[in-house]
Amino acid sequence: MKPSRRSLAAVFVLAGALFAPAAQAQDKFIVVASTTSTEQSGLFKHLLPAFSRDSGIEVRVVAVGTGQALDIGRRGDADVVFVHDTAAEEKFVAEGWSEKRHPVMYNDFVLVGPKSDPAKARGGDIVAAMGKVAAAGPPFVSRGDRSGTHSAELRLWKQAGIDPAAAKPAGYRECGCGMGPALNIASSVNGYLLSDRGTWLAFKNRGDLAILVEGDKKLFNQYGVMLVNPARHPQVKKEPGQRFVDWLVSREGQAAIAAFQIEGQPLFFPNAS
C-alpha cells in the first residue's frame, strides 16, 4: 500500500521537529582563534565551561601562534581572535578586520634556561641576557612560528643588536611549534628559551630548567580579544561572538581569569578596565 499524501506530510513534519533542535544546537557555537599559551596553560579549560553554562554557547578553540590566529581571522574562519601581540592586533583593527580591540589580561615572559646557566645570563636585564646567550652559543630554542612569544623574542634580539634572520647565534634553533613543545625541546637539550609565565607554570617536564630572568618591564605580555568584522565576513557569528567578548571583559569573566591558579600562583592578571 502506498502511503497517502497526508501520512507523508506527517512524516516530514515529525522529521523536522526531530532534527531542527539538533541543527539549532549545532549552530550554538563559535570559533575562537587563539594562542597556544591560553590553551596549553589550561586557561580555556577553566574559563570556557563557565561561559558555556551562562550562555549556552559552545566555544571551539583553534590554538596556534598569534600571527596564524590573526590570519585565520582575516580569512573569516574564526568569529573571535584572542591573542597577545598588541602591535599586530592594532594593525588588524586598522586594516578593518575588526572594529575594536579589547584588553583582557596580562602576564609576563620569562627567560628560562639550565640551572647551571653556562651563558651567565641570570639577572634582571633581559636585553643583556639575550646578548650573553648569543655570545656564549648554548642551545636556544625559538618558537619560530610568528606567535606573540616569537614576536617578543625577535624584539629582544633586535634590542640586543642581533638579527637571527641575517645571522643566527650559535646554538639557535627554530621549532615552528607551540609553547609546550618548545619547552619540551628546551628541556631535552638543556637550552634557553623565552616562555610566557602561564605555560611555564603549567609545564611539568622542566628537567634542569629554571627561570633565569624575570621582572624586566620589557617582558610585559598583554592579551587582547577582538570580534572579527562581520562587514568583511558575513558568516561571522556576530551576536554569540560579541557575547563571548563581552563576557571576557565583564566582572564575571575577569573574576574567572583571576581565579585561575596553579599551586596558589595566578597565571594571568585581568586588566580589562
CB-based contact 210:112 (threshold 8 Å): yes
Q: How many CA atoms lie within 13 A of 213 on its CB side?
A: 29
- Are 226 and 91 in a shared domain? yes
Q: What is the dihedral of CA 13, 19, 23, 26, to 10 degrees?
A: 160
| CA dist 43 → 18, 69, 197 (Å) | 36, 17, 12
| Amino acid, res. 175 | C
Total domain count, the chain: 2
- Are 129 and 214 in a shared domain? yes
Query: Could you give the CA distance from residue 174 to residue 163 in angstroms, rounded to a whole number?
Result: 14
- pLDDT at 14 (0 to 100): 36
- Are 135 and 53 in a shared domain? no
- pLDDT at 4 (0 to 100): 47
- Are 203 and 241 in a shared domain? no
- Residues in the chain, pLDDT under 50: 1-26
Residue 205 sits in a domain whose CATH number is 3.40.190.10
- pLDDT at 22 (0 to 100): 39
* 234 class by beta-carbon count within 10 Å (0-12 exposed, 13-18 middle, 19+ buried): exposed
- pLDDT at 137 (0 to 100): 97
- pLDDT at 273 (0 to 100): 80
CB-based contact 82:37 (threshold 8 Å): no
Q: Which domain holds residue 135?
A: 107-219
- Are 97 and 179 in a shared domain? no
Query: Could you give the CA distance from residue 239 to residue 237 in angstroms, rounded to a whole number?
Result: 6
Over the stretch 198-215, which tens digit does the pLDDT of each residue have?
A: 999 999 999 999 999 999
- Are 62 and 112 in a shared domain? no
pTM for the full model? 0.86
N-to-C CA span, the chain: 70
- Are 64 and 37 in a shared domain? yes
Last residue within a domain, chosen from 219, 234, 257: 219
- Are 123 and 196 in a shared domain? yes
Give the chain's radius of gyration (CA, Å).
Answer: 23
- Are 176 and 186 in a shared domain? yes
- Are 88 and 123 in a shared domain? no
Instruction: Decide: helix, strand or coil at residue 135.
Output: helix
- pLDDT at 15 (0 to 100): 42
- Are 98 and 228 in a shared domain? yes
- Are 67 and 146 in a shared domain? no
Considering only CA atoms, which of 198, 234, 222, 208 is closest in space to residue 272? 222
